[in-house]
């Protein structure tokens, strides 16, 4: 068991720390389930493709299957990436840096964190285009 850092009452802490943790954990569980489902899809496509491919190398459906497989693979990569973001967010939460913009050090608005719990930048830093002062 890890020693959790203790914070004095006087130290400024986000009041919703446990809410954030629950939100991140829920998102993590969702993402894990999605990754598992995608993995099953992927195996299914590969298996189906193997059955067809034996018969006809120039199967007209071959291209579609390859596309489908690439699409599922991309979604799997996305899910894995999101899991990493969530792990990093949990780490920042432990270190008391959660909700702080990685770029400008400003506070990320709670509304943004509600939509994207793993966000590492504030809205203006995340927005492409000329940087706002």
In the complex, the residues that contact Zn ion under the rule CB under 5 A are 101, 103-104, 106, 122, 125
Q: 92 CB contacts (<8 Å, ≥6 apart)?
A: 98, 100, 120
Residue whose C-alpha is closest to residue 89's, from 133, 48, 40, 28: 28
Shortest distance (Å) from residue 112 CB to Zn ion? 11
Task: Give the residue with the Cβ less far from Zn ion, 44 or 105.
Answer: 105
The residues facing 100 across adjacent strands are 107
| Minimal distance, residue 127 CB to Zn ion, in Å | 10
CB of 132 to Zn ion, least distance (A): 9
């Amino acid at each position: 068991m890890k020693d959790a850092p203790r914070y004095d009452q006087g130290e400024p802490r986000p009041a919703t720390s446990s809410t954030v943790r629950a939100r991140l954990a829920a998102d993590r569980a969702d993402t894990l389930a999605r990754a598992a489902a995608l993995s099953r899809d992927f195996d299914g496509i590969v298996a189906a493709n193997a059955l067809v491919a034996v018969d006809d190398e120039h199967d007209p459906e071959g291209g579609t299957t390859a596309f489908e497989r690439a699409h599922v693979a991309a979604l799997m990569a996305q899910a894995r990436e999101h899991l990493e973001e969530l792990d990093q967010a949990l780490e920042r939460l432990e270190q008391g840096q959660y909700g702080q913009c990685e770029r400008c050090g400003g506070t990320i608005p709670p509304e943004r964190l509600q939509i994207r719990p793993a966000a590492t930048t504030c809205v203006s830093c995340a927005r492409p285009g000329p940087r706002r002062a």
